[in-house]
Structure 1
Amino acid sequence: MKKYVLALVTAAAVVAAALIPSGPPVEAATAGFGSAVSAIKQTSWQTNNSVNALAISGNTVFAGGLFTRIRQPGKPAGQGEAVRTYIAAFDRTTGAPTAFAPTLNGPVYSIATSPDGKWVVIGGDFTTVNGIKRSKIAMFSVVTGRLVAAWDPVVSARVKALAISGSSVYIGGAFGRIDGAVRNHLGAVRLIYGDLLPWNPNANDDVYAIDVADNGSRVFVGGPFSRLNGNDHYSLAMTNTTTGAAYSFPAALAIPKPTATCTTRVKDIDTLGDKVFVSNGGDGSGCYDGVLAAQISTGKLLWKNNCLGATEAIKAIGNWVYKGSHAHNCSDSGAFPDGTGTHYLLVESAIDGRIGPWFPNTDADQASTTKVGPLAMAGTSTDLWVGGDFLNVNGKAQRGLTRFTNAPGGSGPAVPRAPVLTASTAGRVYVKFADSYDLDNLSLTYNVFRGSTNVASAKYVSYFWEPRKAYTVVNRGLKRGSTYSFHIEVHDGRNIRRGPSASVRIP
């Protein structure tokens, strides 16, 4: 067997490597992709306008928004459509719609499902459901799809956020009253009967997000408010589940208070175990748009990601936090700089907030009212659903709704280029090759072949937005006057991509 050595990395690689966060990336959870789901878009129906809210119950995904039609995968507007006025439900396994098709007279902005899988509550601007009066909020049976006739709280204005825990439905939005009682932007009703509960944090401005700790011990609320019950709580608070009184929450201090040129507010909240994840969006250049994580039991800040480009939606799955944003600069967090485009879909490590190995993408419909791309996320350990105002996913037409799963395989590395070969009279060939990239893996294995013989193998970390790095392998002990062919194969744990060959003669 011929002798070989792996040469040092070129200067170009050293410069590019400076963009990589310190420490090794998390290795693939499933062969072929590195996070909980792959970057490959799975088949799902589309909508004719924005999806603002998503929630999952068993094998059913509920979607709400501004849409009035849904349509088959791959079909253009006006073809293969079915009527769904502001609310629809889909099969998690196939992505196809179910028979659930209530008629609403206004948009849906929030959806929550009960932990027992029996009920789904929707909130928004509507005032009737199937011709029956419902003031901004309604409940349905998940099993039958029927409106619950006796459940009819009256909320005075838009319901933007919902969460269900135990026997309580927590409500946030733009309202000032529930069932005629003063409830400024926050309130709660009983799940089964719909009657008003004492929970009353009394916010001084709108609420965009609510979630409850998995153990039911705390309710987290977020939005553009600055005070709860007359006390200073800017944009994020942790409250008692019964009274609504706010607890000390040190992590909330990580959200900067408004200045004359910059205002940041909480857009979404998701809890998982003893952690709560909070997404933010700012108005003004350089305003805080990132994600933070806090410990629920202590309220302390665990990490804070400073990507620029408002984060509209998040979903925590295992050790990952998926985010829908219009991120354009994550250089402060060790990732892509400005000028690399808009990264509408990303994943961060739930452990330290570093950008992880998942890079599908959408766009944003510039004719929509929001113009931001992803607006809502829902998921389980096996799948992630994304809704928003986008028109395309991974470069292909897919409006309003898409999904990603943990089906084995992943996206696969980009095909490597042919190596550049230099031969010496000492019987050596210097094989210089550029790295590749993978949209759902960071760590790739590079095998250098001379003909059918694997003469070198190494693992490197690469991000698709980086300038391609160059590496050199020296193959020694080759015969003078002979011609040899070399090629590169890149492996992500399941997918192998072979590049074209190049040949050289030993002088």
Structure 2
Amino acid sequence: MSWHFRSPVTAVVALSVLASAIFTGAGAAQADTSPPSASTPKTVAADALPTAQINGVVWSQVIVGNTVYVGGEFTKARPSGASAGTSEVSRNNLMAYNLSTGVMTSFNPSVNGVVRAITASPDGSRIYVGGGFSTAGGVSRTRLAAFSTATGALLSDWKPTANGTVRALGAFGSTVYAGGSFTSISGQSRQRAASFDGLTGAVGAWKGTIPNGAVNALTVSPNGDRVVIGGSFTSYNGATTPGYGMAATDSSTGAGVTWNIGKLIKNAGPNGAILSLTSDADGVYGTGYDFGAGAMFEGTFRASWSNGNTVWIEDCHGDTYSAVPVGDVVYTTAHAHFCGNIGGPPETNPRSYHRTLTFTKAAGCTIARNQTGGSYFNFEGRPCPTLLAFFPDINTGTFTGQSQGPWNLAANSQYVLYGGEFTIVNNKRQQGLVRFAVSSIAPNKEGPKATGSNFQPTLSTPSANSVKVTWKSNYDRDNAQLTYQVLRNGVVVRTQTGLSADWHRPTLSWTDTGRSGGTTYTYQVRAIDPFGNTVTGSSASIQATGAAIKTAPDQTITPDAPANAPDATLTPDVAPVPDVAPLRDVAPVPDVAPLPDVVPEPGMQPEPGTKPVPDDVPAPLPEVPAT
């Protein structure tokens, strides 16, 4: 099992969880000050920053300078900290807030239907929005509109129309690209993919033959020569390999071009789709869902811009909705319930979810054989990224009825933003939107989480004049390595370190020798994260056996009161897994040559088994007719 965590020091640090010995003894794993790899990236801190809230669901976000534009299905917005139904102002399906402060801006275009997609012009002077609306600010706009970022005004010179929902937008140079479930754009035939002049809205030449399904996502290459599309369509320009759920196209004509990962990952039809595509200079990052025959992928992939070759796949089970690269890190949002085949959280009963999994951009391990059975495709032997320690808790919302929390991610070099239908973040009420920041500007107050009797040592007397102190590791949302202090009668008598996560809490122990027989000793354990956040658990007492020893009495210090985590007022959506045995190690494989992409045989059926509970399937996304 290989995974890493952020450090408060300048050097970037890394750790590998290799064996139980690494958790015992003060000399093991000096991770923060002596990292085995100075190239392991840091994540943002897990502190949930105050952010404006909405009363529905967020489907799309884009950052333009210091402003975040947010689209979705909602009618009201309110400040951070305000309870639902209080301090609300009208914001119909489109709003904005200040990236640095989280405070809502005055931008209030009042769009009368769902906003599914937002993108910005390359110069940041305007945003383009798409969805299922028919008016913006009372002015006719049929599923497409543009706004000035300087004034917030609806732009009168950009008003193409679509006859079906627009679900994806991208821009390069003077061209805007759109995908969705439409078949006509401004009266011209365009099957689910179209382009426009970014200033006038005139329909462009880019198009393809997409006979069914929808285009859910698109991304444009750094030099603008290609547009990659993904969705539930089953062919593109008559081709299926690639073309089944995913295709790369010439950005001028729409002609298909080589896209090798589309020969391996085939998600389309009624039971699957590619749900998001994002990119940077290093490649394309895509996510998907699978709920049966015709689909086979639920995690995140990275493909190269050169021919779409597979760089890595993270095969966590549980639909993945969005991914965004930031530097050397890739953030995702999902409802992952099993990542054991890449060294991550195991399947639990009852099922628990990790909605904020984060990975290295580089490949660092090899996918193991699926351990859960069922109808999952076997990606065994292919490169995977390394899981990083960033585990904020985001709960399940109820607005869409699809039993999901976050749906969308946006980020820049300082902030990572989640949007969705969640109502609680890190056990504090926060609806629909939340920000996380790099540690240099974050509070860094997310400390060890287990408290009181949940962090109490077990004592035994293995031999005369000795006491064995045993405890379950604590865990932290954004640091894997914690320091432990053992207190005897209030005095620190032992310090050691260990690695843990909410899903992997090894048992640690230490034997205190030289204790006087017949004397009662009281022990506590204190956990400290690299930023100095501290929790001291409940105490336990035991009488030592053996002969009495005449020694100077211990200094008596009143033990610290059991610390309560500051957010312990609500039940976490992801419950710590008790006594989870470590999964088998997944060995890092530097410079792994990717296996050749393969085409699943026609008519291939998934391995027999039971697919996870029905909350793994997104409900159909309804069309909103224009009026």
TM-score if structure 2 supplies the norm length? 0.71
- Give the Å deviation of 1:52: 1.3
Cα distance in structure 2, aligned partners of 1:221 and 1:492 = 43
- Give the Å deviation of 1:180: 2.2
Deviates more, 1:188-197 or 1:417-426: 417-426
- Closer/same/farther in 2, CA of residues 496 and 76 from structure 1, 3 Å limit: closer
- Contact 1:415 1:498 (8 Å CA) reproduced: no
Residue 297 (structure 1) aligned to one of 302, 306, 310: 306
- Give the Å deviation of 1:427: 4.2
Secondary structure class of the residue paired with 1:70 = strand
For 1:9, the equivalent position in structure 2 comes to: none
- Give the Å deviation of 1:210: 1.0
For 1:274, the equivalent position in structure 2 comes to: 282
For structure 2, the residue ranges without an aligned partner over 5 or more in a row are: 14-31, 33-40, 364-384, 547-627
Deviates more, 1:312-321 or 1:103-112: 312-321
- Give the Å deviation of 1:443: 2.5
- Closer/same/farther in 2, CA of residues 156 and 357 from structure 1, 3 Å limit: same
For 2:408, the equivalent position in structure 1 comes to: 376
Cα distance in structure 2, aligned partners of 1:392 and 1:424 = 45
- Closer/same/farther in 2, CA of residues 425 and 386 from structure 1, 3 Å limit: closer
Residue 364 (structure 1) aligned to one of 377, 393, 396: 396
Cα distance in structure 1, aligned partners of 2:307 and 2:523 = 57
Deviates more, 1:314-323 or 1:52-61: 314-323
- Closer/same/farther in 2, CA of residues 373 and 502 from structure 1, 3 Å limit: closer
- Give the Å deviation of 1:447: 3.3
Cα distance in structure 1, aligned partners of 2:500 and 2:334 = 22
The correspondence of residues 177-188 of structure 1 with structure 2, limited to 5 A, is 177-188=184-195
- Contact 2:399 2:421 (8 Å CA) reproduced: no
Per-residue CA shift, 1:203-250, capped at 9, x if unaligned?
A: 233100011233434322110012222222111122222222222111
Cα distance in structure 1, aligned partners of 2:386 and 2:124 = 34
Residue 342 (structure 1) aligned to one of 343, 353, 358: 353
The amino acid that maps onto 1:375 is W
- Contact 2:267 2:274 (8 Å CA) reproduced: no
The correspondence of residues 388-467 of structure 1 with structure 2, limited to 5 A, is 388-406=420-438, 407-415=442-450, 417-423=455-461, 427-450=465-488, 455-466=493-504
The amino acid that maps onto 1:235 is G
- Give the Å deviation of 1:442: 2.1
- Closer/same/farther in 2, CA of residues 184 and 425 from structure 1, 3 Å limit: closer
- Closer/same/farther in 2, CA of residues 311 and 39 from structure 1, 3 Å limit: same
- Give the Å deviation of 1:503: 4.6
Secondary structure class of the residue paired with 1:26 = strand
For 2:120, the equivalent position in structure 1 comes to: 113
Cα distance in structure 1, aligned partners of 2:66 and 2:475 = 34
The amino acid that maps onto 1:385 is L
The amino acid that maps onto 1:267 is L
The amino acid that maps onto 2:337 is H
Residue 62 (structure 2) aligned to one of 27, 36, 55: 55
Aligned-residue Cα RMSD (Å) equals: 2.7
Cα distance in structure 1, aligned partners of 2:487 and 2:148 = 60
The amino acid that maps onto 1:409 is N
Secondary structure class of the residue paired with 1:147 = coil
For 1:8, the equivalent position in structure 2 comes to: none
Deviates more, 1:64-73 or 1:342-351: 342-351
Cα distance in structure 2, aligned partners of 1:431 and 1:90 = 50
Per-residue CA shift, 1:272-307, capped at 9, x if unaligned?
A: 231211110122399521111112224211211222
Secondary structure class of the residue paired with 1:189 = strand
Cα distance in structure 1, aligned partners of 2:233 and 2:291 = 15
The correspondence of residues 463-482 of structure 1 with structure 2, limited to 5 A, is 463-466=501-504, 468-477=505-514
Cα distance in structure 1, aligned partners of 2:414 and 2:117 = 23
Per-residue CA shift, 1:447-495, capped at 9, x if unaligned?
A: 33446765544432222124x4212223345566666554322222102
Cα distance in structure 1, aligned partners of 2:459 and 2:326 = 45
Cα distance in structure 1, aligned partners of 2:458 and 2:353 = 33
Q: Which has the higher strand share?
A: 1
For 2:258, the equivalent position in structure 1 comes to: 248
The amino acid that maps onto 1:158 is T
Cα distance in structure 2, aligned partners of 1:488 and 1:215 = 56
For 1:211, the equivalent position in structure 2 comes to: 219
Cα distance in structure 2, aligned partners of 1:38 and 1:311 = 22
- Give the Å deviation of 1:425: 6.0
- Closer/same/farther in 2, CA of residues 395 and 219 from structure 1, 3 Å limit: same
- Closer/same/farther in 2, CA of residues 327 and 424 from structure 1, 3 Å limit: closer
Cα distance in structure 2, aligned partners of 1:256 and 1:424 = 58
Identity value in percent? 32
For 2:529, the equivalent position in structure 1 comes to: 492
- Contact 1:30 1:408 (8 Å CA) reproduced: no
For 2:603, the equivalent position in structure 1 comes to: none
2:59 maps to 1:81 = no
Cα distance in structure 2, aligned partners of 1:107 and 1:257 = 25
Secondary structure class of the residue paired with 2:410 = strand
- Closer/same/farther in 2, CA of residues 297 and 454 from structure 1, 3 Å limit: farther
The amino acid that maps onto 1:245 is A
Per-residue CA shift, 1:425-444, capped at 9, x if unaligned?
A: 65433222221111222232
2:318 maps to 1:323 = no
Residue 235 (structure 1) aligned to one of 245, 257, 261: 245
- Contact 2:268 2:274 (8 Å CA) reproduced: no
For 2:625, the equivalent position in structure 1 comes to: none
Deviates more, 1:77-86 or 1:327-336: 327-336
Secondary structure class of the residue paired with 1:365 = coil
Residue 232 (structure 2) aligned to one of 197, 204, 224: 224
- Give the Å deviation of 1:70: 0.9
Residue 386 (structure 1) aligned to one of 401, 411, 418: 418
- Contact 2:4 2:386 (8 Å CA) reproduced: no
TM-score if structure 1 supplies the norm length? 0.87
